[in-house]
Chains A and B, each alone.
Chain A
Amino acid sequence: MTESIGTTGLVLNEPLLWEKGRMGRTGYSLPKTDVPSAAIDDALVGEGPDFPDLSEVDVVRHYTRLSQWNFSVDAGMYPLGSCTMKYNPKTNERQAGLPGFAGAHPLFPETLCQGILELMYDLERHLAEITGMDAVSLQPAAGAQGEFSGMLLIHAYHKRNGNPRSKILVPDTAHGTNPASATLCGYKSVAVKSGAKGILTPERVGELMDEETAGIMLTNPNTLGLFENHVKAIAAIVHDKGGLVYCDGANMNALMGIVDMAAIGIDVLHLNLHKTFSTPHGGGGPGSGPICVRRHLEPFLPVPRIVKTGETFGLSEDFPESVGKLHAFFGNVGVMIKAYSYILSMGPDHLKKASQLAVLNANYVKERLKGVFHLPFDAPCMHECVFTDKHQAARKVTTLDMVKRLMDYGFHPPTVYFPLVVSGAIMIEPTETESKENLDRFVEAMTAIASEAGENPEGLKSAPTRCKVKRLDEVTAARRPCLVEPPALKGEAPR
């Protein structure tokens, strides 16, 4: 195979800042005071926090070294299924850093932040256009809150109509957090088993849907990476009983500008700007989880909402049926600016093409690896494909062993053991970011690992061997987590 990009370099150990600090060292100097000194309020006087004394270079080296232990999408391929770890274009950061945006304070009067308000207003319109929905709120902080907001709207809608209802249908291929959002709204989740082909069938939904059921929470494409073909028929069944259809848009990267969500019967949909619209996530920044709705749910959207009067933009709380406020001020505005930058940079044609390439890449990986790993659902996939460790089970090699080994080859591991409907799942989402050369390299690495599983299964048990940190004891970490520094380590020389 092509030479592995995984290697070992001079990766430096680094102690805790508390071990590094020395009394009296400083990293700042203050200008001479030019105002008379005054007494400090007694309530503010006392022991300071236990912070170490450090110089500037101490701190810079500390964080630089820590960052070198890390892996990021800027460093290499990050095929974490359902997380859409696509490249985050640097222009997004540049736009969000413009002084007019970065320096704006949320307490400014509206007249002084027309630019940001206009951007948010436009972003809402763009997201409505991309999804086919009518109205948007940018307020939810990330996907789980977006999903929760969607449930709040459904609850408010039913309540206004006289009965908030008590149950909600959640397919077994839906996103993992769905039942939690439903429970917070007082709904009991009723699991819907997917059909033999890994997608929902109208028959199953028809058997479970009744007038005590508020609706269904779909994920499309679902967590098997498969397109739910029967959404229109399922939506008709749900609507017929007065229910509503929520679509989890976590996997929208497969569908930008391709599926008209309103036309297939979706009433409310959330988006993850930090996945589909290329803003950093994970350790890289907060998320943003806008919700997009049809007209009949618009009155319930969170406040404040952005309104346009003539040529002026403002914030309005005058929506009496609103579910209220969900986030301090207006949501994670910095993330919105980056997503807006991405949408304008790409334009409608390239957004659609990005989705098409994301789907093509996943299908390419699926086709090339399907002889190597067991593929539980052999159908054209969307943005991700799901394999299992079934072929390797005879050698007692598990999904965990193989993906740990992948780090030695220079790739971030895929999502594993999810979705739960597939035993030993390996869920790969390459995104449109990766070139064919990168995908080939990834396929070669996975193929090499499958060969190792046959020839040297014991070797995989100790993987990774090239990373700074080797195989972790995940069981003890989960059973007896050590959440604070053990006192014995304090004051010891760096090991």
Chain B
Amino acid sequence: MKPIEDLTFPEDLLYAQDHEWIRMENGSAVIGISDYAQDQLGDIVYVELPSVGQTFAKGEAFGTVESVKAVSELYMPIGGEVSAVNESLGDSPEKVNQDPYQDGWMIQITPQDPSEKDALMAKDAYLEMLKGLS
């Protein structure tokens, strides 16, 4: 696993305690897992995602990610209805390892209450939290 300094955390994202990120795009939100999360999990071999139209509350599990080490739940950083899922992860789960913030995105949602994002962390706060973990 990499030292935290070698991981990337884009400025324009918000991060959750469970290591998911969201990117707000014209009223919808794209969700994935952070560089730290993919690095901790190791090689990802399977990603299970919900169907379009399903609704999840903030903190609810929306899918699972399986690496050679373990299966972990994916949690909603904010609540909302799924409007798109990254189908390409079915054949190429390694995208989550290679490019967690772009090609490795997981779902897009229409937020129920966009103000829920106010409880999430900006890059600096997330980095502080990670330093506390190691």
0/1 string, A377-418, CB within 8 A of B gives 1: 000000000000000010000101000000000000000111
* A475 engages B1 (CB within 8 Å): no
* B69 engages A417 (CB within 8 Å): yes
Interface window among B7-15, B19-27, B40-48, B112-120: B40-48
Measured between beta carbons, the chain A residues less than 8 angstroms from B70 are 417-418, 420
Measured between beta carbons, the chain B residues less than 8 angstroms from A423 are 40
Q: How far is the CB of B3 from chain A (nearest CB, A)?
A: 9
Cα(A474)–Cα(B67), bound, Å: 10
* B40 engages A475 (CB within 8 Å): no
Q: How far is the CB of B19 from chain A (nearest CB, A)?
A: 13
A479 interfacial by beta-carbon distance below 8 Å: yes
A478 interfacial by beta-carbon distance below 8 Å: yes
Cα(A416)–Cα(B45), bound, Å: 17
* A479 engages B45 (CB within 8 Å): yes
Cα(A289)–Cα(B72), bound, Å: 27
* A474 engages B1 (CB within 8 Å): no
Q: A393 and B1 in contact (CB under 8 A), knowing A474-B68, A479-B93?
A: yes
B94 interfacial by beta-carbon distance below 8 Å: yes
Interface size on A, residues (CB 8 A): 12
Q: A479 and B40 in contact (CB under 8 A), knowing A418-B70, A420-B70, A474-B68?
A: no
Measured between beta carbons, the chain A residues less than 8 angstroms from B66 are 478
The closest CB in chain A to the CB of B69 belongs to A417
* B94 engages A420 (CB within 8 Å): no
Measured between beta carbons, the chain A residues less than 8 angstroms from B72 are 420
Q: How far is the CB of B95 from chain A (nearest CB, A)?
A: 12
Q: How far is the CB of A408 from chain B (nearest CB, A)?
A: 21
* A475 engages B69 (CB within 8 Å): no
Interface of B is mostly: loop
Q: How far is the CB of B7 from chain A (nearest CB, A)?
A: 14
The closest CB in chain B to the CB of A475 belongs to B43
Interface residue ranges of B50-65 to A (CB < 8 Å): none
Q: How far is the CB of A478 from chain B (nearest CB, A)?
A: 4
The closest CB in chain B to the CB of A399 belongs to B69
- What interface size band does chain B fall in? 10 to 19
Q: How far is the CB of B103 from chain A (nearest CB, A)?
A: 16
Q: How far is the CB of B37 from chain A (nearest CB, A)?
A: 12
The closest CB in chain B to the CB of A419 belongs to B70
Q: How far is the CB of A142 from chain B (nearest CB, A)?
A: 20
Set B1, B40, B45: member contacting A478, Cβ < 8 A = B45
Cα(A420)–Cα(B70), bound, Å: 8
Set A400, A420, A475: member contacting B45, Cβ < 8 A = A475
Q: How far is the CB of B11 from chain A (nearest CB, A)?
A: 27
Q: How far is the CB of B45 from chain A (nearest CB, A)?
A: 4
Most buried by B among A400, A416, A420, A479: A479
Measured between beta carbons, the chain A residues less than 8 angstroms from B45 are 475, 478-479
Q: How far is the CB of B112 from chain A (nearest CB, A)?
A: 20
Q: How far is the CB of B93 from chain A (nearest CB, A)?
A: 7
Cα(A400)–Cα(B42), bound, Å: 11
* B46 engages A478 (CB within 8 Å): yes
Cα(A400)–Cα(B70), bound, Å: 13
* B94 engages A479 (CB within 8 Å): yes
Measured between beta carbons, the chain B residues less than 8 angstroms from A420 are 70, 72
Measured between beta carbons, the chain B residues less than 8 angstroms from A398 are 1
Measured between beta carbons, the chain A residues less than 8 angstroms from B43 are 474-475, 478
Measured between beta carbons, the chain B residues less than 8 angstroms from A475 are 43, 45, 68
Most buried by A among B1, B40, B69: B69
Cα(A393)–Cα(B68), bound, Å: 18
Measured between beta carbons, the chain A residues less than 8 angstroms from B68 are 474-475, 478
Interface residue ranges of A420-435 to B (CB < 8 Å): 420, 423
Q: How far is the CB of A418 from chain B (nearest CB, A)?
A: 7
The closest CB in chain B to the CB of A479 belongs to B45
0/1 string, A478-492, CB within 8 A of B gives 1: 110000000000000
Cα(A479)–Cα(B69), bound, Å: 13
Cα(A393)–Cα(B133), bound, Å: 14
Cα(A478)–Cα(B97), bound, Å: 15
Cα(A478)–Cα(B45), bound, Å: 6
Cα(A393)–Cα(B1), bound, Å: 7
Measured between beta carbons, the chain A residues less than 8 angstroms from B1 are 393, 398
Cα(A198)–Cα(B119), bound, Å: 28
Measured between beta carbons, the chain B residues less than 8 angstroms from A400 are 69
Q: List 24 A-B contacts (CB under 8 A).
A: A393-B1, A398-B1, A400-B69, A416-B69, A417-B69, A417-B70, A418-B70, A420-B70, A420-B72, A423-B40, A474-B43, A474-B68, A475-B43, A475-B45, A475-B68, A478-B43, A478-B45, A478-B46, A478-B66, A478-B68, A479-B45, A479-B46, A479-B93, A479-B94
Q: Which 7 A-B pairs have the closest CB atoms?
A: A478-B45, A417-B69, A475-B43, A479-B45, A474-B68, A417-B70, A420-B70
A420-B72, A423-B40, A475-B68 are known contacts; what are 7 more A-B pairs with Cβ within 8 Å? A393-B1, A417-B69, A418-B70, A478-B43, A478-B68, A479-B45, A479-B93
